[in-house]
Chains A and B, each alone.
Chain A
Amino acid sequence: MSRLRAQIVKELLSTLRDPRARFVLIGPPLMQLFLFSFAATLDVNNVDMAVLDQDGGPVAIEWVQRLESAWFVDELVKVKDLQSLGERIEDQRALVGLHIPPGFSGDVGSGGGTVQVLLDGRQANAAQIALSYLGGISRQLTFELQGVSGAASSQALPQTVVRHWFNPNLNYIWFIVPSLSATLAMFIALFVTALSIARERELGTFDQLLVSPATSLEIIVSKTIPALVIGTVLATLMVLAGIVIFRIPFTGSFLLLMITLVLFIASVVGIGLMLSAVCQTQQQAILGTFAIAIPLVLISGFATPVENMPPALQLAAQFSPLKHYLIIVQGSFLKALPATEVFANAWPMAVLALVSMSVAVVFVQRRLQ
């Protein structure tokens, strides 16, 4: 036991004693959390539009005015002809171009006027969302017009009443902060472990360790501790920032979240150790971390939902600890995720941690051949 304790203390000190290293490990991730939480939003606002109004009738004017004052519109430029409308989209000065044809106001009164909406497909996502906002405004105006003209049909139309559970206003930050806390902690934990053995190897202290009575299992266990501590502390700090600073409701069990967080970091550390045992130099370890971490993030469902992926990738996603932990952390914040659901996503991480650590032990033992 004292042998193991000495190694753990050594690992913790060699990672955290240097103030510069401490800063690099803790500072940038927290900074990134704030920067990216505000930046990484799929909300659409500040949309630039261009409009070509060839009608000039009252409905057209009313409609354009409403758009101008809509919350998601930044600037609405009126253009004179179709060509300049097209150019604005092509040059990305406008995401949406509206073409109101002559006679539009009259058509609306007599049955249905059609506005041509040109959208920049290079930003398909934003354009689609902008389009749905546009649809809402148009519908609203239609109802009001029907009321005003008194020509509304006796038949009321069925309506959709939408309610967003867990996040009624679809605040994107409520989604991004918990997800980023997991992703950033994973990056740091991977780096710390991947570099740990490679660094000792470059400095020549690894041999010193191998001649001591320390067993491969002890070496592995002690190497997991700093990353485990740093990763867990960092992720906890970010979760707390989410609750306190970003005021995101936390509805689940904090205790369960903490337990699964440790499990998550442990499985990431296992992957890092496998990498570390294989890499000969620090450069290889650094590049290897990138080569592994980026795909892990991409298939985890952080950027886009796992169920949108092809089946092969959905299967691969099961091997990404981040995928499982994202479900838990997002659910713990917003969905009051029940314990059964937590366990359903926790056991795959436990299996991943166990397997990757065992493989790492075998790799380290092979170094002794």
Chain B
Amino acid sequence: MNVPASTTSRGDRPAAAAFDLRRLIALMQKEGLQIVRDPSALIIAFVLPVVLLFLFAYAVSLDVEGVRLGVVLEDDGVAARQLANAYAATPFFEVVPAYDRRQVQELLVAGTLRGFVVIPEGFDGALASGGEPRVQVITDGSQPNTANFVSGYADGVLATWLASRDPTSRGVGSASGGSGIALEQRFWFNPELESRRILVPGAIAIVIAMISILLTALVVAREWERGTMEALFSTPVSIFEILLGKLLPYFALGLVATLICTLLAVTVFGVPLRGSVVALLLLSGVFLVPALGQGLLISALTRNQFLASQLALVSGFLPAFLLSGFLFPIDSMPRVIQWVTAIIPARYFVSSLQTVFLAGDVWSIFLPDIFAMLAVGAVFFAVTALTTRKSLDR
């Protein structure tokens, strides 16, 4: 047959290049085609981010509004009624009125109410006579976060009501309750205190962590399981090119997903982007380094899709969700766990992302974060490089 003319003849020593751009591009094209052909990868890369952003924007809301609160009016006086109306008037509560506390107790157990206020018998009288009328607030402590808000806001409603009732009364006039020391609060970066603005950047971090850690871990494990790694190893391609050929397409996929998420966040969910797009992309790019490194390391260690996915879940997704500080403040965690978070790249990414969206380009935050992410990434890559050789020997 007319086989292609030999480039070298017998006995010659062909030049073996450690790096060849053409080979790298071929590997990247192959990977890209596989991504495009596999519906499950596309779902993870493009559909899941949208769903997650949507859920974080609407389902996970830390804003307290319309919490169902029982108001038990045991006193029939005018002042007591006014106070009851004051509770009903705030947007924070959706009031269920009652005249007997036994009525609301059951509702609290059932979770229908998150708390109730008791305006006791003799409230009016005590108020008029200069006694110390006490308004009882009972919360559902099984939901500590909501309970905190209920008690705080109930307190605030009382203070505001007192102030409006008697403008000359001293020391009151702020939402934090009557005091000789008034607190004038200003929330920077997020004056309306919309939790969406904080959660959406956090969601982006999770999405990217998923794409990079889980997908990379799975696709490398798949090459081993399907025997294509053996075919790759038998060609002149170097291990460096194989790793880079895996990384770059998922790097690009991660950046594209970031852009989509950003676009959605800004246009649909009304999150401001106060920093620059360049900084955002730079941060995302840097975060992808440790995340992809982690994915590669997992697959290098397991070569098995099931184990790889479990490891990605345990070491990638859950820490990004729970230990990155986007839902739960890191400063409040026990010291040991704070140390653990130091090696979780998502932690640095979340803090930088929140800043780039809500505050602007604050390089004094970005630079240490970038440095930390690169350092963690370097460790992952070093371990991967040490454990991966172009050989089927284990």
A positions within 8 Å CB-CB of B:
20, 24, 28, 32, 35-36, 38-48, 59, 63, 74, 87, 89-92, 95, 108, 111-129, 131-132, 134-136, 138-139, 141-142, 145-146, 153-168, 170-172, 174-175, 187, 191, 195, 199, 282-284, 286-288, 290-291, 294-295, 298-299, 303-305, 307-310, 313, 327, 330-331, 333-338, 341, 344
Contact = CB atoms under 8 A, between A and B. Distances in A.
A39 B187 contact: no
Given A139-B181, A156-B130, 17 more contacts: A39-B323, A39-B337, A59-B181, A63-B181, A124-B198, A128-B193, A131-B176, A138-B181, A156-B131, A157-B162, A157-B178, A158-B132, A163-B138, A164-B141, A175-B145, A291-B48, A294-B48
A115 B132 contact: no
Nearest to B117: A160
Given A160-B158, A165-B141, A41 B306 contact: no
Contacts of A90: 188, 359, 362, 364-365
Contact of A121 (B63, B169, B327, B358): B358
A116 B176 CA distance: 13
Contact of A112 (B171, B328, B365): B171
Contacts of A168: 141
A172 B155 CA distance: 21
Q: What is the predominant secondary structure among interface residues of chain A facing chain B? A: helix
Given A139-B177, A142-B179, A288-B40, A334 B142 contact: yes
Interface residues of B, number: 115
A168 B139 CA distance: 9
Nearest to A96: B185
26 contacts: A39-B322, A41-B328, A41-B332, A41-B333, A43-B332, A90-B188, A111-B170, A112-B173, A114-B182, A115-B182, A120-B187, A120-B189, A121-B189, A121-B190, A123-B354, A126-B331, A135-B177, A138-B181, A138-B183, A145-B180, A163-B137, A164-B144, A172-B144, A283-B38, A308-B63, A341-B111
Contacts of B140: 164-166, 335
Contact of B58 (A44, A135, A313, A331): A313
Contact of A307 (B68, B197, B354): B68
Contacts of B198: 121-125
Contact of B182 (A40, A113, A171, A344): A113
A-B pairs with lowest CB-CB distance, top 7? A121-B190, A167-B141, A135-B176, A164-B141, A142-B180, A121-B189, A121-B187
Contacts of A295: 51-52, 55
Contacts of B78: none
Interface stretch (B8-16, B17-25, B146-154): B146-154
A298 B142 contact: no
A142 B318 CA distance: 45
Contact of A195 (B133, B154, B214, B306): B306
B317 interface: yes
B191 interface: yes
Among B127, B130, B177, B191, find the residue whose CB has the most chain A CB atoms closer than 10 A: B177
Contacts of A298: 52, 55-56, 59-60
B142 A166 contact: yes
A31 B358 CA distance: 35
Nearest to A115: B183
B351 interface: yes
A154 B314 CA distance: 61
B68 to A, nearest CB: 7
B382 interface: no
A91 B365 contact: yes
Nearest to A118: B186
Contact of B364 (A43, A91, A129, A165): A91
Contact of A119 (B182, B185, B327, B340): B185
Given A28-B310, A92-B351, A125-B195, A303 B60 contact: yes
B393 interface: no
Contacts of A337: 109
B187 to A, nearest CB: 4
Given A128-B193, A142-B180, A119 B188 contact: yes
A44 B203 CA distance: 22
Nearest to B182: A114
Contact of B65 (A91, A92, A174, A308): A308
Contacts of B337: 35, 38-39
Contacts of A59: 181
A155 B130 contact: yes
A294 B178 CA distance: 43
Interface string B345-360: 0000001001100110
B41 interface: yes
